[in-house]
Amino acid sequence: MDASTDPPRWGAASGVDALEWPSRWRGDPPAEAYSRVSDAERYRVLQAFASAVVDDLEREFAVERQELDGLSGGTADHVEFDRVVGLVPADRAAAPLVVGLTRFPGVLLRFGEQSDVVLPRCGCDACDELVQDLRDELRFHIDALVLGGFAEGISAGGARWHRFVTSRGSTSAAAAADGAGARGV
């Protein structure tokens, strides 16, 4: 895909594109960094970014926005939420998106029925997940969803799976919960 056909920069209005964080470590982090979270608030900007992405998607696509009381199943059973917003496409063949702003602070994205992506994945000092990398990962997953590169289903053996594909790459994994059928956009 050349620059003239790149997908929109979802969430640009949040200002997160101008922000960069340096890595804390040169080499391996100290052992105590694995059990410490000294600056969780650095991820709060990711929530503003995710909210701006939801606003952009609502303006761009035929979706119904729903303010939800919560989210359950899969990864969502292990986090607390401050706010949960769902986008349900008018086209029933397309997969819904749910964005949960977690108390950590972080973001849980649910694509389709049970395909969850949690950002940051850990948040401890040792993992040192950089906001700019998480921003890029969130955009990658959204691009896959809106460009038709997301699919989820159940294998012949009964294991749930999901796949995200864009011109920049792909990811696939086993999903967190049971369900039926396959869905993609």
Residues 6+ apart with CB under 8 A from 176: 73, 74, 75, 114, 116, 160
| C-beta of residue 125 within 8 angstroms of C-beta of residue 36 | yes
Q: Considering the chain, what percentage of its residues have pLDDT values greater than 90?
A: 65
pTM exceeds 0.75, yes or no: yes
Task: Give the pLDDT band of residue 3 (cuts 50, 70, 90).
Answer: very low
Nearest to 128 by CA among 18, 40, 16, 17: 40
Answer left, alpha or beta for residue 94, where phi above 0 means left and psi between -120 and 50 means alpha. Answer: beta
First to last CA, the chain: 19
* Coil/strand/helix, residue 154: strand
Task: Give the pLDDT band of residue 74 (cuts 50, 70, 90).
Answer: confident
Q: What is the pLDDT of residue 175?
A: 54
Task: Give the pLDDT band of residue 90 (cuts 50, 70, 90).
Answer: very high
Q: What is the pLDDT of residue 180?
A: 40
Above 70 in pLDDT, residue 181? no
